[in-house]
Amino acid sequence: MKSIVRILAVASAVLAFGAGADELDDLLSDSGGSADTAEAASGDESSEGESSEGESAEGESAEGESAEGEGEGEGEDIVPAKKSKAKHFFLLPYCRELDGVGEVCLPGRSEWVPIEEGKYYPLGTTYRTIGPESRLRIVFGNESEVIVRGDSSFGTRMQGVGEKSRALNLISGTILVKLPKNLPESLFTVNAPGFSAYNPAGESRYTYRTTVDGDEAVVRCVTQSLSIKGRHFDIVGMRAANEVRIRTSQDLLFTALYGSRGDVPVRLDQGRVLVKDYGTGASHVEDKTLDWKLSPKTAVRIHRSMPALGEKMSVTAMTFDAAGELKNRCAFTEKTVEVNSGELGPTSKKDREALAKRAADMAEATETEGVAAETTESEAAEEGGSSEEAPAAADSGEDLF
């Protein structure tokens, strides 16, 4: 009972002076531990004995005594040590540093107001800097922050207070994200209309701009690792100094991936196929993929189309080498086994020329054979005609007479 009274007193004092986001986190953590203690104390005295055993374990091992000191703590409130929980992000992000001109647009509002250093902002806020000399630093945790320079803008995802993950939405300019090297998976994402960068660790940089027919993003993994996922493609495990460029049409029906720095592994969807097990004779459906190495000057192009009837999208995925020659091509319909072309093979310029030459040679050979056959038939007809003329005349004579 005493511990509960102390909690209420501390909470009232902190709220009276205005607590920051980190202080509120500590308060919530402390109150949770104290509430558990109060519940344990109101249950039975045996739990108090177990707690005192845990606290005096080191003293007993040093002095060689048994657990007889268990009853020494009776009649007193026993507060167990607070469990240390890894806290990767603050309750709310706040502005730690601003040079130049910076503005924010709070969630639910349309007007922009100046950014204030040291102030916490709710999730769902949009930030921007104006002017080439401007620089803004927004802190999300002890080792997590976002830095923007020049004419740049980004927003945070609106979410519940208890959600542990965080997400950014790219709007314009260059955004530098710094995160812990050992950040657990699925805790931070950077989103754009055509893709999402997930599981980032270390530093990553995003240069984003809108175009006449869509948008373009240059994603660079500065340190550690980074992955990018979009519709029908997945870039798994970008490493330090790797960089890719992503073009997306406004209607999201076209995506192009261009290699910029390093060799980046890309996994492309190739639809569903029916695989038969010749040992058992049974068949099952599998999602087929193609692994492609996205190197500088190579590219991946994905075209999509919605049919007039139905909801399943038609997709064509192609890969191109550094010379611009087509290397892989596959056409399929999403989640449909019956419509899948499989690997169509390369149709580069050299291949097309070779195929055209082969077809011309075959046509010429066929034409030569046809002429030879016609000549043979005509010669045979001439030879046969001279020997058959006499019987024909005799027959005609017999008919007349």
Q: What is the mean pLDDT of residues 124-128?
A: 97
pLDDT for res 67 = 41
Query: Do residues 106 and 99 touch, judged by C-beta distance below 8 A?
Result: no
- At residue 29, the 3 state secondary structure works out as helix
Residue ranges of domains in the chain: 1-57+72-85, 92-178, 183-343
At 167, list the tokens: 């997400």
**Which of 13-22, 265-274, 327-336, 377-386 has the weakest average pLDDT?**
13-22
* Residue 376 predicted with pLDDT over 70: no
Query: To the nearest whole percent, how much of the chain has pLDDT over 70?
Result: 67
pTM over 0.85: no
pLDDT over 50 (residue 52): no
Q: How far apart are the first and last CA of the chain?
A: 144
The enclosing H or E element of 271 equals: strand 264-276
12-16 average pLDDT score: 43
Residue of higher predicted confidence among 202 and 51: 202
pLDDT of residue 351: 67
Q: What is the DSSP string of 177-228?
A: EE--TTPPTTSEEEEETTEEEEEEESEEEEEEEE-SSEEEEEEEE-SSEEEE
More confident residue, 5 or 231: 231
| 93-107, 304-318, 385-399: range with highest mean pLDDT | 93-107
Q: DSSP labels for 280-347?
A: T--EEEEEEEEEEEE-BT-EEEEEEE--SSSSPPEEEEEEE-TTS-EEEEEEEETT-SSSB-------
pLDDT tens track for 276-293: 888 888 888 899 999 999
- Greatest mean pLDDT among 29-33, 102-106, 345-349 lies in 102-106
363 band by pLDDT with thresholds 50, 70 and 90? confident
Closest CA to 138 of 181, 92, 107, 79: 92
The tens digit of pLDDT for each residue in 67-92 reads 444 444 444 445 444 444 558 899 99
- pLDDT band at 251, cuts 50/70/90? very high
Lowest average pLDDT, out of 76-85, 102-111, 113-122, goes to 76-85
* CA gap 372, 36 in Å, rounded: 101
Contacts of 202 (CB under 8 A, 6+ apart): 178, 179, 181, 221, 222, 223, 224, 225, 240
> If you average pLDDT over residues 311-323, what whole number do you get?
93
Instruction: Report pLDDT digits (tens) over 365-374.
Output: 766 766 566 6
User: Is residue 253 helix, strand or coil?
Assistant: coil
Using only C-alpha atoms, what is the Rg of the chain? 37
Phi, psi angles (nearest 5°) of residue 36: -65, -40
pLDDT over 90 percentage in the chain = 55
How far is residue 253's CA from residue 255's CA, in Å, rounded to a whole number? Answer: 7
CB proximity list for 401: less than 8 A, separation 6 or greater: none
Tell me if 204 sits within 8 A of 226, measured CB to CB: yes
Q: What is the pLDDT of residue 378?
A: 60
Q: Can you give the pLDDT at residue 212?
A: 94
Instruction: Give yes or no for a contact between 143 and 166, defined as CB atoms under 8 angstroms apart.
Output: no
What is the distance between the alpha carbons of residues 394 and 127, in angstroms, rounded to a whole number?
111
Are residues 161 and 91 in contact, defined by beta-carbon separation less than 8 angstroms? Answer: yes
Task: Give the pLDDT mean for 307-321.
Answer: 90
In angstroms, the CA 88 to CA 95 distance is 17
For 348, counting Cβ atoms within 10 Å of its Cβ (0-12 exposed, 13-18 middle, 19+ buried), the class is middle
Q: What is the pLDDT of residue 291?
A: 95
- 113 or 69, higher pLDDT: 113
